[in-house]
Structure 1
Amino acid sequence: MKTLELQGEVKQMDTKRCSRILFPVLFVLMINSFSINVYAQDQAQVSQKEIQEIVGLMEDPEKREAFLQNLKSLQRLKVSDHAAEVKLAAKPVETKKRRVLFIEYLFVRFETLTGKVMQAAASTSKLLARSPQAYNEVTAFFSNPNNIKQFIKLLANLAAAIAIALITWFLIGKREKKLVVRSRKLVRKIIMFFPRLLLKLVPYGMVLISLFFLFRMFPSHPTGHALVLVFFTVLFFYRMILETFRILLAPDANRKRILPFSDENANYLWVWVIRFAHISAFYFVVTRMLMVAGIDTQIQSFIRGLLLILFPFMINVFILQIARELRAKYEPAQQNGEQNSEEIPKKTIPLFIRYFPVLTIVYVWAIFLFLIVNFEKGFGHLFSATLWTVAVLIGLSLFMRINERLFKRFFTINERVKKKFPGLEAKTNRYLMVLNKSTKITLVIISTGIIAQIWGIPVSIFVSSHAGTLIILRAIAILITVGFVIAVMETSQMIKEHLLKNKDQISQKRKTLVPMIITTIKIVTGFIGGIVILDRLGINTTPILAGAGIVGLAVGFGSQTLVKDLINGLFILFEESIRVGDYTDLGKNEGMVEAVGLRTIRLRDVSGDYHVVPNSSIETITNKSKEFSKTVIDIGVAYREDADEIMEIMREVGNEVREDPEYGPNILEDIEILGLQRFDDSAIVIRARMKTKPLKQWGLRREFNRRIKRIFDERGIEIPFPHRTIYMGEPKQGPAAPLHLQMEGKNQ
């Protein structure tokens, strides 16, 4: 209900607002036209007096000579004042040598714009300054009874025409109500569109027809006739536009609406239609009446420009409002993933929503600037350039699709091969994607150049010039260099992946040296490519190379320890003294090797401590797990035990351990009994040795000791505690002196 009431008020206000604006304009311009005619008569009389003075001037030889000198001086001033016009006129002569670009013509065309605007503003200010004089002229005009009679006749004709229109409106009002569409079918609404529009416009058409015949039958003032006809012609088209959109949008009743808009959108568009219709009607009334009234063309252009400047501002506001609504509608849907990729392209819609307001605003301002400065050629170029730009973009899109389909058709692997070799497609298409993107970039660059040429940017002249050719050749050389660098890097990466394919089976030397060599190749290739690119760009690379040499020399002197680390690391890697996973003794530190680098070796000992040892500090490397290991077993027994029996027991235990399914696979050879190794203070030591797999020697030794202890316990073989026998010695004469011991304790 609120919408209906609002639209009812808007409908009533349309005619009221139009009457408030247009009828005062009509009255003022009619009065002003009469004053302009009086002013023209005065100007004609003054011109007659000047002609008589010129005749007298030409009869006097002295005055005639002075007059000729003044004319020559004026001619020289005219030549200097119109330098821009001469320059513009001289442009077609240059076309014999080369085609004048539109952008050059446009710049020359706008050179004199400021001067013309200033002249038009000055003329307009002079016209406004004549307002008191015009008032006196109007008063003098109406003081003439004949003029009053003509004016009254004009008003009578106007009143009669309006009366005829009102009668017509009253007669057809009932028929118009009968044509109200009650059906919701679109075809019915379209069929009734033209009869409804015709009945709406009949009263306004009757005003024009009546005025035409009344002015023929009862002529009054020709200028007044023209002004009135202009006003009601504009009013007719104004009402035609409003009634057309009122029927199409039907803001007050959605049942009558032809266009598929919601109530809110229909009312929104209706408000903007009213705004544009009002300002358009005001513009045409003022400009056409100024033309009919015979106002100076400069003043007409100035006022016309002031009125036209309102249109782009209003259109910009309308475009920005539409863009904001579109962003609010589509951007949340894209963020939530609601759009269907088959129905709405994921990239085209966001780009269009983001950039169409900018392009549209630029177009609007270009069109109205051409209108303001009366630059008719600009419309043709703008229209043709737009069409060609659209054609180029369509062609670009077509070629993009063809390119994509060709790549998919000729380079796609079928599903059977994909399932059999899962990683084959990624390998074969790795560089095809680069080629595909390069083709697309080339198409975009060519299209951009064509569009720039269409819009007047001298791309073809630049390309055909010496500088343009040089730039293009250097750009091609840079692209070739970049392609070569990428090819070398990708090839080295492929070699690296191939050499390090089976990580469990490759040596530590390969693990370390291959990445280092590949990285060095990439760095050197990138450096050389960068030097070549800088040289193609015109940059002197000699200072860069000299500076790099000096920096390298300084780094070499300042980092001797680092160089020593690197050299030692290279020898360690080449000789394969140690590998990751070996148990190594480096003098001060020992442990499991976790990393072997060019500068350091990283160890982790039994306690879990992590050691980083610089290669330059390594003097001796003891690798306890290279290829195989040997565990040395020393068994100490009491002096009273039989050494041969102990050796036989050790051989039995060694054979038993080798036959064990858990420990046997780690023993490479039978136990080797080396024999009685030494005599200690309280025991004899018998040594044996077993050859084992790397890093298995310690576990086997512990298992051997466990089993030997069990057998010694079973057979009563003594593993002596450390003890000492004290010998008091014997004197040469007599027995040894007795040793007195005193026992202390509770049970003494």
Structure 2
Amino acid sequence: MLVEGAPTRAILFLSVRIHLAFSRGLIPFIFALLFMAIAQQPCHAQSPEMPPAPQPAPLPAKVSELLHLMNDPELRQWLEKRQAAEQPTPAIAETMIESGEAKARTRYQALRSAIPTVPAQIAAAASRVREQAKNSGFAPATVMFTALVCVGFAAEWFFKKAVVKARFGNPLVAYAVGEFGPWVTFMLVSSAIFLAIDWPPLLHVVILFYLLAFIIARLAFAVLKPLTDAGALSAFGTRRIRLFIAVLAVAGATTSLARPLSIDRDVETIMSYGFSILLLLIAIEAVWRRPENASAAEQRTVVSVLYSLYMICLWFFWAVNFLGLFWAGIYLIVLPRLLTAVGRTAEAFAKGRWPNDNKTSARTVLAVRGARAFVIVAAVAWVIFIWQYNPNILVRENPTIDAAVRGALKSIVILIFADLCWQLSKAFIDARMGDADSVASSPSADVARAGRLRTLLPIFRNALAAVVIAAAVLTVLAEMGVQIGPLIAGAGIFGVAVGFGSQTLVKDIVSGIFYLMDDAFRVGEYIQSGNYMGTVESFSLRSVRLRHHRGAVFTVPFGELGAVQNMSRDWVADKFLLRFPFNTDVAKAKRIITQIGEQLKEDPEIGPQILKTLEMKGVEQIGDFGVELSFAFTALPGRQTYIRRQAYTMIRDAFIENGIDFAQPAAQAGGEDKSDAAALTLQKKWGEQMARSPSPRT
């Protein structure tokens, strides 16, 4: 048993060691040991006298099963993972740095070796285009492109001749046609000719890219013209921007032709770097030569140096393909000035289109704010496009950062849209309130409608502001990944709790809503409620502000108003009494009052305020020392006191001229004693009669 079991254990041990060696990557070392062992053994020929070697015994079933398991791929994979886990791994940062350095070195060497081949490849591509055009019966690409551009310019010349003879009613339309009409004409004519010709493949690509670049550059030049005319850009800045756009258009067309013309990728990259350096030099030259105040030369030098370093950093971000940082830096400099220029241009457009509107009108706000919003949305959309389709952005591998960046970009668009909606609504409401304020001398129906608008529009504006802010905040939170469902539910529960805890506040708000629905009072009306009286100046959600005719201000919650006496609604009937002697000719007095009423009605200042002129009603009562005559008139609310004072003056003068006296209290002195109480009573009646006044307003 011992002899028979030894080979089995040896084979099992050898199998395990072999598989462990395989799992640890020691196969070459084992093969070397086996080769050395075989080489050291002598090679003897088998002599006939030696007995034949015994045949090995068959392997047991368990050993065969073990060997079969050792050949299982899953077991090998497990052994490899175990061996990799036992070995020390280098740091991730070191690995990334080393791999990045190796890639950069390889890329640099490839570009350096490709630099000498740039002229040859460009010449070969040009030769292929020229040869294909010649074989197809076409002139060289430069000649064909020049001819196409000349035809477009000829069409522009005819268009300008036609526009000079045309007459436009709107100067803004004439300006737009004069500036953008030639570009549209050039684009249509050149595109039509290009599409009508059957070009050779390579010549077709060359003409197409350079024609598109030329048309886009012409459009940019046409856009710069209104900005310069509006004062948003200086002449120096316009020239440098035109040069920058021209070089950028040529660079875009040239680099885009690299692949269709079979130019090497490294050569294409070198061409892109060359054009980018040229654009960088143009920008730096514009910074150093910009016109400024000569007295601040030292400060200008420092600013120019900082701007130059900033532009070099931007170029570096573009060179290493950090497009997110590159465009963020571009926006940081260009966007504020571009928004200012676009705002001035839009304001000039609105002023030329609607000369009677002010800066706060809805159309002007829409033009200015809408133009700025369009620029911001376009900038954000471009950043989103770069973020979406640039595979070299490392932070996109982190889902949290990627979602936060996308949410922030979308939130900017949401806030811009909310601001535009609020500014338009506010401008519309302010315009309507201004119209309502200007209807002071209109008929009664218009005045009532204007007063109601002045009452409701401020409350509606405040409510609209709250709605816009709440909607914008919730939408931004939703875009940032915050679950707003629990916030809305919590806000509802909090609102119920606040409602139970502040019943007085809720009562004031609800009462104010019903007062406004009933149209109980409006801004500018004189009301009285309990101990509070005054002119309504403004509203809030819970109170009304009253200005007393003596200057005091009452802020009264709606819940405390109760019954409201409105003294300024529709019309006011004013009545007063005057006392005359018993022998007064009442008929004569009535004729005099009728003449005074006609004079008041014909007065240019007082007449429009009188709805029913002054008239005498007759004898009201007979007093102790004369008769009391009743007078009345109907006027606009708030003007009755002024009209009554004028009527008092005219009645006094007319009655004195016609010999009609006013009754006066008389005291009788004689042998008969009069009680002091009777005299005091008589004086009290006279004082109350003279101090009687229907309204406290002046």
TM-score, shorter chain, exceeding 0.5? no
* Higher-RCO chain (CA-CA 8 Å, sequence separation at least 6): 1
State the structure with more CA Rg: 1
